[in-house]
Amino acid sequence: MIERYTLPEMGRVWSEAHKYELWCRVETLVLEAHAAAGRVPADVVEPVRQAPPPTPEAVAEIEATTQHDVIAFLSAWADNTEPRSAAAYVHHGMTSSDLLDTALAVQLTDATDVLLAKADRLVAALRDHGMAHRHTLKVGRTHGVHAEPDVWGHRVADLAFAAARSRDRLRAARTAVGVVAISGAVGTYSLIDPSVERIVAEALDLRAADASTQVVLRDGISEWVSSLAILATVCEAIALEVRHGQRTEVRELSEAFGSGQKGSSAMPHKKNPIRSERIAGLARVVRAAIVPVMEGIPLWHERDISHSSTERVFLPDAAITLDYLLDLTAGLVENLVVDAARMRANLDSTGGLIYTSAVLLELVEGGMGREQSYALVQGAAMQTWQTGTPFRETLRARAEADGVALDEGKLDEICRPERYVANLDPLFERLAALS
């Protein structure tokens, strides 16, 4: 991922230097287990443990000849080991994927922990914002068209619970990818004792694979990437709400606009939802990882290498992008500008059409047939759309023409927006408890 969207903590998780640190750690744990069992000389452990990880440059130089990254790493690390002869017992009984998959499991779980912390921040920001606007009236929209009265906090609550569910999916996926496999060339432990795998898994606070061939089957990694994509798409849903709310015709929401910020090189008046649009664009990057990574599940027999290049691109990119997205989205919510007066003005802008559903039910409950009631209310509503005459007036005229008596007192009660949100208290109690 390009530097523009890479935050330091997550960038460190996926750096080449850190990868080789993890490879050294895994190889050292395996060597320690062998030495404890008496399979290799005990005096080789300390020289290997003290050998500094090779630099990415040193590994790359050797790999240019070997065309094999693990062999290049082992050779470069051996060059740092004193005496070099101790390195002869490194990678004892292992195959490359024992190292690669186990170290990758550490990277994936470490990356997940970074993401979970930021997802917690987003959930808290949405919860607090929703609670702050539990009484902020707005119009609810379906198909982009005014529907019934609502409160802004209700819409935010929906997004808060979605973010929390998505975070919890990611937490579950952490278990799916936190898998150690140190089982040899085709997973039969032919040259390495199964106890080594268990010891290493315990040391890394991971779990040993239920079964492996030369690799761990990629269903767990596919689950992890899918959970990242869902969370990224929830971020996009938040951003989309802001983008709509910041449209000139709506003007209910807006991103914070800092002193000295500019919106356009040509139009000085512009205040554009650039953060929200960036979130929408980057969510596509995360979703794009799903299919290529999932296609790493079917490999030839005990393993081929077709998944490797895909994962080198998409796993770090998906994690780094979502990390940036979560940070950006949390900041968007924490600094969101809400125009409550504009929300109320928009709610009232259709002359009362948002109350047609309650009027329909009132007529039915008063004894009128549903079809007759619907025809009366729809006819009045269409006249309001066409002429701009307030709905109560067109309704009154239609009812009089049809010989239908209206209870104006009940209509007064029906046409109060607060009536439509009176049953939301239990929802906000759940929202207040969200963590």
Instruction: For strands 179-180 and 207-208, give the pairing.
Output: parallel
How far apart (Å, rounded) are the C-alpha atoms in residues 102 and 204?
9
Q: What DSSP character marks residue 40?
A: S
Residues 6 or more apart whose Cβ sits within 8 Å of residue 197: 180, 181, 182, 183, 189, 208, 209
Question: SS3 for 93?
Answer: coil
Active site residues: 143, 264
Instruction: Give, for 47, the enclosing helix (H) or strand (E).
Output: helix 45-50
Q: Which two tokens stand for residue 300?
A: 């030839």
How big is the chain by its Cα radius of gyration, in Å? 30
Calculate the dihedral angle through the C-alpha atoms of 72, 77, 82, 83, rounding to the nearest 10 degrees. Answer: -40
Calculate the dihedral angle through the C-alpha atoms of 193, 195, 196, 201, rounding to the nearest 10 degrees. Answer: 150
